[in-house]
Amino acid sequence: MTTPPALRFEAFDPASLAARAGRIALLAEPGAALDRAARQLDRLSRGALRRLVASRAFAELKPGEALEMGFPAGLSAEAVVVARLPRKADAMTARRAGGAIAQRRGTGDLAVLAGGHPMAAELAFGLALRAYAFADHKTAERPPPGAVSVIVDAPEAVAAAAAPSAALAEAVYFARDLVNEPANVLTTTEFAARLEAMRALGLEVEVLAEEALERLGMRCLLAVAQGSASPARVVAMQWKGAEGAALALVGKGVVFDSGGLSIKPASGMEEMTMDMGGAAVVAGTMRALALRRARAHVVGLVGLVENMPDGRAQRPGDVVRAMKGDTVEVINTDAEGRLVLADLLWYAQERFAPAAVIDLATLTGAIVVALGHENAGLFANDEALAEAVLAAARAEGEGAWRMPLGEGYDAALKSRIADLRNVGGREGGAVIAAQFLQRFVRPGVPWAHLDIAGVTLGKADSALAPKGATGWGVRTLDRLVRNRFERG
């Protein structure tokens, strides 16, 4: 597993500054006084730091961005990174500044001179998130990463403030690793094994094999998996940090989606290793809750399948029976995620009687057409839950946008030969998929559906993640649990 950098929080030692190797980073703002460490660094560099901070280039930076000064005179460091960060910056700006520093981290040691900045812990969190690099399948030798020291006025206090974020960073890394893994490595059984290993953190983990799923009547989920040599698995994770009804998190875990017999175009199919993104977010969130010993009762359910066009694969026109009892006409085998979630949603309610249910899935291309790669689509039957999810997403800087539901969309799901079919037409595809899922939510159960197809895999580097898996949703769900479901 990829692990975040181990951040050391230290007091400033003036005598060591000139001899520090690697890179030094610090915080500044045009027109503001330099702090004690920055003043010493300016003296050592013969005024180069003040000239940089007074430059037009630095003034044109947005808060949270950074410039680099290479091989400064008077210092052993190979570079000085200067991030623009006002003292009254908010948490997200501080995280972006940390991310900007991480992008310029280099391969040696890094010392971040944060002094008495009130957002030093958030800066450290952003640095940790952006330092992620997935290199499990690269064979070239890589030097071990250098040490990262955060130099602050009150090391113990800042370290304590940063501790919950360190657990969250590890959980985001875990989710990113899962999404980045190729499907020949992260099979359904390997995925289940990685989740079973989290028992060591105090999670209760149960793996249901195909025989158990057959007895439960999960024929929709099993139908998706029947064309693959990789067997279906459902994994139930439970964190019992409090008494009372649980929040249920449900994730789509299609480890590879060829589209089945309704096969996808070859171009871009390699990205369908990320179709288990919903399951990765659920797994990452459960890891975060266990690591920080959350005072909440949360259940995480993931359905792990592979959608392949084997001779045994389900066909367009097949009729399958869901665990709920409804029959579904399969019009398109590439609309498989909703079949997996239908059985998982019903199982979550039958077994756990949750206080609320939230499902996450890379469900539709239609949501990408609607919202691009900036926002996940949020659908909900409960206003309070919807607003709580949106508030958590805003607080964590993870984009989410409320989408509609309505009975008028149900007409697209009418089947001539079954209770409903799994797709409608092209219009409103993401909404119709959500309407399908809502059929498997009992009246009175607060439910939200997050379509994360556009936000799971970044097409380019971002402030807090390199190109590839983003881990979108782990921070939002952890924040949601803190805000709404923790007790005591």
Among the listed residues 23, 130, 338, 439, the single catalytic one is 338
CA distance 119 to 142: 32
CA distance 327 to 339: 11
Asked if 333 and 315 touch (Cβ cutoff 8 Å), the reply is: yes
CA distance 236 to 238: 7
Asked if 435 and 410 touch (Cβ cutoff 8 Å), the reply is: yes
Question: Active-site residue 264, yes or no?
Answer: yes
Among 186, 167, 78, which residue's Cα sits nearest to residue 129? 167
Residue 334 corresponds to which amino acid?
D
Asked if 5 and 106 touch (Cβ cutoff 8 Å), the reply is: no
Residue 244 corresponds to which amino acid?
G
Eight-state DSSP code of residue 98:
H
Per-residue burial over 124-153, b = 16 or more CB atoms within 10 Å of its CB, e = otherwise: bbbbbbbbbebeeeeeeeeeebbebbbbbb
Sequence-distant (≥ 6) Cβ neighbours of residue 32 within 8 angstroms:
86, 87
Handedness of CA 42, 44, 46, 49 (dihedral sign): negative
Among the listed residues 43, 264, 295, 482, the single catalytic one is 264
Eight-state DSSP code of residue 418:
S
The dihedrals phi and psi of 359, each to the nearest 5 degrees, come to -110, 150
Asked if 315 and 261 touch (Cβ cutoff 8 Å), the reply is: yes
Q: How far is CA 33 from the centre of its chain?
A: 38
The dihedrals phi and psi of 193, each to the nearest 5 degrees, come to -65, -40
Among 426, 439, 330, which residue's Cα sits nearest to residue 381? 439
Question: Active-site residue 338, yes or no?
Answer: yes
The dihedrals phi and psi of 325, each to the nearest 5 degrees, come to 115, -20
Which residue numbers are catalytic?
264, 338
